[in-house]
Amino acid sequence: MNQQPRGARVSVIVTLSLLSYLAGCTFVRLDTGRQLVSEDDPIFDTRFREVDPADLDLSDFWIDAEPPPSDEAIPINHRTYAKIVTSVSDGIVNLYTTVLEEREARLGIVPGDLLPFRIPILSPVLDFIPFHLPLRYKAEGFSLGSGFLINEGGFILTNAHVIRNATDIRVVRSKNREEFPARIIGVDPATDSALIRIEPQPDMRVLPLGSSEALEVGEIVMAVGNPLGLNHTVSSGLISAKQRLVPEAEASLLDYLQTDTAINPGSSGGPLLNLHGQVVGINTAIATRAQNIGFAIPIDTIKRVIPILISGNPERGWFGAAARPTSPGEAARLGHSNPSAVIVDEVLDPSPASKAGVRADDLILRVGGQEIPDFIAFRHQLISLRPGNTLELTILRDGEQIEISSTLVAPPND
């Protein structure tokens, strides 16, 4: 009988020991929200980084479709939806993205197993004290999403979370299933929006951008996207609600269009369309504990931040005041009957707000000379303001209207 070499026996023992040690190993994907890919990476197109958004002329950058008359009847038959899909399908793209992910390997053992023999009192106690050694590392993952062309230069709108930490983006058009590499122009986490670009092609189909403000609750809409990798899937439903706040969503500061149109993983970034083939929203999220509750970012919000996306700098201006909707009782107490007024809750010092003389309990009536119809509209008016922009407010204090003008600054680190 051949005797196994001593070195081989040691190798076998070490291998068995490692296997028993790794038996408790688990791998977890961490969603820390950290930026793992540098903006100097080749995936980013930095050609517009030095451009001030205020200097951009975007009058022809996208097709701004006129809102259809509210009383215009659209004949519905068995081919109505099919005609709309045919007219827009080549402007809707599927995204296949390689992303850098942060993961954690948790190596676990039971301390009692390290003892050479069982000790009656100590071993049962150690069995209930597992030891885990977390090891973080980076690895490549895969993401699905959707997008749509808004400019013949190859510019595509999608969601920020679809291309977050991307190292490679592949755009697939419906026509001939053509595939193109894409680069990131800009990302705005605050609105969960992103602008990417492929090299222009001679037959680009650009989708017109409609008006989400003109939508009515109960209006018919359609979604086209890449759910679960099922490319160019079409679904339809209704606008269930507008100005819906969703704290669990990726960008919790946004208000959303709520729809019962089917939206699934992979649909994110695709267009929500009205029956005129106009984009009225970007499909973004679903309520995971419900059925047929989906959310889309209003396209009017996206129009306001496209200059920020082009510049590639999502930093917002900081004013240093917190505001909230006012109640009718508060408005009456402060000498104003308009329930849509916004009340200043807190003013930080030092800040542009404190330097401009804003105080707690001031009522904000107008922004930039425009009346505030409600609190969400107030946030819309501020969403695209950047450091260096001027904020003009009309406030009511002690029955007197006061005009406030202040220059916004970069937000402090703390």
Residues identified as active-site: 161, 192, 268
* Whole-angstrom distance, CA of residue 74 vs CA of residue 72: 7
Cα–Cα distances in Å, from 223 out to 75, 87, 236? 19, 14, 6
Decide if 255 contacts 244 (C-beta within 8 A): yes
Give residue 292's identity as a one-letter amino acid code: N
Decide if 329 contacts 343 (C-beta within 8 A): no
* Whole-angstrom distance, CA of residue 342 vs CA of residue 364: 5
Tell me if the bond preceding 350 is cis, omega within 30° of 0. yes
Cα–Cα distances in Å, from 61 out to 40, 104, 263? 26, 43, 28
Could you please report the per-residue DSSP string of 148-191? EEEETTTEEEEEHHHHTTEEEEEEEESGGG-EEEEEEEEEEGGG
**Closest to 242 measured CA to CA, from 183, 301, 194:** 301
